[in-house]
A and B are shown apart, each in its own frame.
Chain A
Amino acid sequence: MEETVQHFKKRSPKRKQERFGKTISLVATIFIVSIVFSILFFVASRGLRTFTEHGVSAIDFFAGTAWRPGEVSDAGEPLVGAFPMIAGSFLVTIFSALLATPFALGAAIFMTEISPKTGKKYLQPVIELLVGIPSVVYGFIGLTVIVPFIRQIFGGTGFGVLAATLVLFVMILPTTTSMAVDTLNAVPRYYREASFAMGATRWQTIYKVVLRAASPGLLTAVIFGMARAFGEALAVQMVIGNAALVPDSLTTPASTLTSILTMNMGNTVLGTLENDVLWSLATILLFMSLFFNILTRWIGKKGAMK
């Protein structure tokens, strides 16, 4: 008996295969994790040089409103206030999410609850197509359609937070919608049946049962959209105007962390303050996306416990 057990333990080809598979996935995991950590380390260590090497105070960086790297103030401090970009990033993210959420929810409800047939046949392919369009195309359309349109209505140049918000709205709408659709589809059919069987109307069922049951997933969908908006560079850069000013209106040129990064990253010399502050901006971006990530995970966990 003992012998046979030993025999199977040693020679079974299945066991060998399993060991092989385990080794491969372990190596891959270690590889991925080390890449992630090296990126984090690399970006953060460069970003921190702004404060350690160049002696910029954190307050001046996060709250300062003058962004003219390379120049110094009358007091001799470098002008690297990142607040205009931080504000710009948060504004376009929040506005586009506020705008996109009701549309995404409405479309998702239509596609899952009201008319699944039309949804599957026409809307689903359209949304999948929209998800796949490269952001430069969205930016280009924004530049040729939205910016002149805003210029006509509100005057000014047309570049600014409003233009960026509208472009981002169109960009995150399909992402948020398709995630919301998946979430609503995952709500078990028997919840709906139980509700209908008690004489609830369709709207009561959607509102009181389906949306409630799906709320963690829907929140995740919105946050995913926000993460995408926060990280989008090219399309925003094309329509926001790229003036490093705290936006005092929605239709004057402004900037975001990403737009300043893409504008300037080719024009600075490694090791200078001008270059290192860009890494600081990148560090903020990185930690924000980490934050969005953790947030969705946390919501997922909370939702699962219910």
Chain B
Amino acid sequence: MNDVKNTHPVYTIKDFNLWYGETQALKNISLEIPEKQVTAIIGPSGCGKSTFIKTLNRMVELIPSVKMEGSIHYKNEDIFKPNAKVESLRTEVGMVFQKPNPFPKSIYDNIAYGPRIHGIKDKKTLDEVVEKSLKGAALWEEVKDRLNENAFGLSGGQQQRLCIARAMAVEPEVILMDEPTSALDPLSTAKVEELIHELKNDYSIIIVTHNMQQAARISDKTAFFLNGEVIEFDATEKMYSNPHDKRTDDYISGKFG
């Protein structure tokens, strides 16, 4: 909703194709995703939104049948280069999933998980990271007195903010979110949206959403996907007021989807 600044791209995607076995899920994608902004990915079900953002942190490769072609650069680094380490990419690119997925551990241990696997053992440092991340995810006030309780005791909306806090605890540059509010009630959704709005000062956010109003409310740029192709990619305001492509117009105005 802010004016789109001309920042460096955080991701540069060129002629990217992806197949699950024989079926092609992404077709000739070329995009430049801006830094420290919110980029929304919209499109009807099955058009490849999840596939696309799972490609950005290479999680899609956990599916054995996946084949890929083309190039993706994260800050000028080819993410598929033979000696590239997926672990370091995923440390810089956090992810929040559609369904809140805390570990069956305490609230504290959930947040401390990331820092711990990256070698932080000092209790004081961990305490600080936990507090900072929970504050960053606007959850601290609600849970500060029960950090040692199991995370499953939180509400769905709280669990999702916990997952956002958990992703933030490893201090990523980018946060990928795949329909982070689709399992939440309107009030929790509003809270998460508010949070996303604040996060973009520090993070580049790429968010998949089914909800067009949500994309309009929170994003700076929007990419419209259809059948694995990017039909249109532009500043959100512009796309909503004056779409180039007829199909974008149809989708935004609710004629299909």
Contact = CB atoms under 8 A, between A and B. Distances in A.
Interface stretch (A201-209, A218-226, A232-240): A201-209
A190 B178 CA distance: 13
A117 B64 CA distance: 10
Interface in B220-236: none
A135 B105 CA distance: 41
A201 B87 contact: yes
Interface residues of B, number: 28
Contacts of B97: 190, 193-194, 197
A198 B113 contact: yes
Contacts of B170: 198-199
Interface in A13-48: none
Contacts of B167: 197-198
Given A204-B117, A306-B150, A196 B101 contact: no
Contacts of A212: 104-105
Contacts of A197: 57, 59, 90, 94-95, 97, 167
Contact of A199 (B88, B101, B105, B166): B88
A154 interface: no
Contacts of B215: none
Contact of B103 (A117, A201, A213): A213
Contacts of B88: 199
B164 interface: no
Contact of B90 (A117, A188, A198, A208): A198
A213 B170 CA distance: 22
B87 A208 contact: no
Given A193-B59, A193-B97, A194-B97, A199 B103 contact: no
Contact of B104 (A117, A195, A199, A213): A213
B91 A191 contact: no
A200 interface: yes
A209 B62 contact: no
Interface string B95-108: 10101011111000
B118 interface: yes
A190 B99 contact: yes
A215 to B, nearest CB: 10
A190 B101 contact: yes
A212 B118 CA distance: 18
Interface of A: 117, 188, 190-191, 193-201, 204, 208-209, 212-213, 306
Given A195-B113, A198-B117, A199-B114, 9 more contacts: A117-B64, A191-B104, A194-B101, A195-B103, A196-B59, A197-B97, A198-B90, A198-B167, A201-B117
Interface of B: 57, 59, 62, 64, 87-91, 94-95, 97, 99, 101-105, 113-114, 116-118, 150, 163, 166-167, 170
